[in-house]
């Protein structure tokens, strides 16, 4: 009996500790999502303004690259949010999504300047920007317990078009980078060397492209399942009422 009472007491203490921490977690997540929404909105305005002024997409990436790199890299915090239980999302799914974006920004578009004016870069930039404004707005209003239906609808419908468009842009950009990487041998390590290891960045990019074959359907259908659960579940409740 003593052992049981100690267990209950320990459980109560743990629950009280979680309740105490939760307001701080909610506050942090709200600030984070507001900041990320604002950041991607700044990017959207910058892209629109650039195209209106210049009438071309050439030079667009260079004009927004600092802001893009900052906010996309800042998204690494989302992996920690999952790992520490601040949000109920898979660490693996979040890690794959965030790291693939960071790879595209730093190791492809930033590193290979010859491809920065490719139309495919604009393709994934537009898809990312609309997606992230919608996603972070959704999280912000959800945390504030005041979620407009049109944001909820956008969150679970726009991805049907934006996700494939973004993936197409990423793949086409990596494909455009292959000749430059092969010719320059950039980021590759050749034998012989004192570490006795080799690394071919050209082959690495091909492997990354091939990895989209199993990963894209899994992530896309995961979102479709979430869409059915959220939107169709709501319709069923309305019909019952």
Residues 72-91 pLDDT 10s? 999 999 999 999 999 988 89
pLDDT tens column, 173-196 = 999 999 999 999 999 998 888 888
- Rounded to whole angstroms, the Cα distance separating 215 from 77 reads 22
**In the predicted structure, residue 110 carries a pLDDT above the cut 90:** yes
Distance separating alpha carbons of residues 240 and 207, to the nearest angstrom: 49
Question: Three-state secondary structure along the chain?
Answer: CHHHHHHHHHHHHHHHHHHHHHHHHHHHHHHHHHHHHHHHHHHHHHHHHHHHHHCCCCCHHHHHHHHHHHHHHHCCHHHHHHHCCCCCCCHHHHHHHHHHHHHHHHHHHHCCHHHCCCHHHHHHHHHHHHHHHHHHHHHHHHHCCCCCHHHHHHHCCCHHHHHHHHHHHHHHHHHHHHHHHHHHCCCCECCCCCCCCCECHHHHHHHHHHHHHHHHHHHHHHHHHHHHHHHHHHHHHHHHC
- What digits encode the pLDDT tens for the residues 3-23? 333 333 444 444 444 444 589
Tokens of 4: 């049981």
Our answer to whether residue 180 is catalytic in this structure is: no
The pLDDT confidence band at residue 232, using thresholds 50, 70 and 90, is confident
Q: Look at residue 21 in the predicted model and tell me its pLDDT.
A: 52
Strand ranges inside the chain, DSSP E: none
The answer on pLDDT for 53 being more than 80 is yes
Please identify which of the residues 163, 175, 180, 212 carries the catalytic annotation: 163
Exposure string over 136-152, b if 16+ CB within 10 A, otherwise e: bbbbbbbbeeebeeebb
- Rounded to an integer, what distance in angstroms lies between the CA atom of residue 137 and that of residue 153? 12
pLDDT for position 2: 39
Q: Give me the catalytic one of 78, 170, 201, 202.
A: 170
pTM (2 decimals)?
0.86
Mind listing the pLDDT tens digit for each residue in 87-99?
988 899 899 899 9
Provide the pLDDT confidence category of residue 205 given band limits of 50, 70 and 90: very high
Please indicate whether residue 119 is annotated as part of the active site: no
Q: Does 235 score more than 70 pLDDT? A: no
The structure tokens 């990487």 sit at 181
Between 14 and 64, where is the model more confident? 64
- Give 114-173 pLDDT, tens digit per residue: 999 999 999 999 999 999 999 999 999 999 999 999 999 999 999 999 999 999 999 999
DSSP letter (8 states) at residue 117: T
């Amino acid at each position: 009996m003593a052992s049981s009472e100690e267990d209950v007491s320990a459980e109560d203490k743990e629950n009280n500790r979680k309740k105490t921490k939760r307001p701080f977690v909610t506050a942090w997540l709200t600030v984070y999502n507001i900041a990320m929404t604002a950041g991607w909105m700044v990017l959207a305005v910058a892209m629109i303004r650039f195209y209106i002024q210049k009438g071309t997409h050439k030079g667009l990436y260079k004009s927004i690259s600092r802001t893009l790199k900052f906010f996309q890299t800042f998204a690494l915090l989302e992996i920690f949010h999952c790992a520490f239980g601040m949000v109920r999302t898979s660490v693996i799914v979040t890690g794959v999504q965030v790291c693939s974006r960071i790879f595209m920004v730093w190791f492809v578009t930033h590193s290979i300047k010859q491809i920065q004016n490719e139309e495919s870069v604009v393709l994934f930039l537009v898809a990312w920007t609309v997606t992230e404004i919608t996603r972070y707005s959704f999280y912000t209003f959800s945390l504030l317990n005041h979620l407009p239906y049109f944001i909820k609808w956008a969150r679970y419908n726009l991805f049907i078009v934006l996700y494939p468009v973004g993936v197409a842009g990423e793949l086409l950009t990596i494909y455009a980078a292959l000749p430059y990487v092969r010719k320059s041998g950039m980021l590759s390590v050749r034998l012989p060397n004192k570490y006795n290891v080799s690394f071919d960045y050209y082959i690495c990019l091909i492997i990354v492209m091939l990895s989209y074959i199993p990963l894209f359907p899994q992530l896309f259908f995961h979102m479709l399942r979430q869409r059915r659960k959220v939107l169709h579940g709501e319709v069923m409740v309305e019909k019952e009422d």
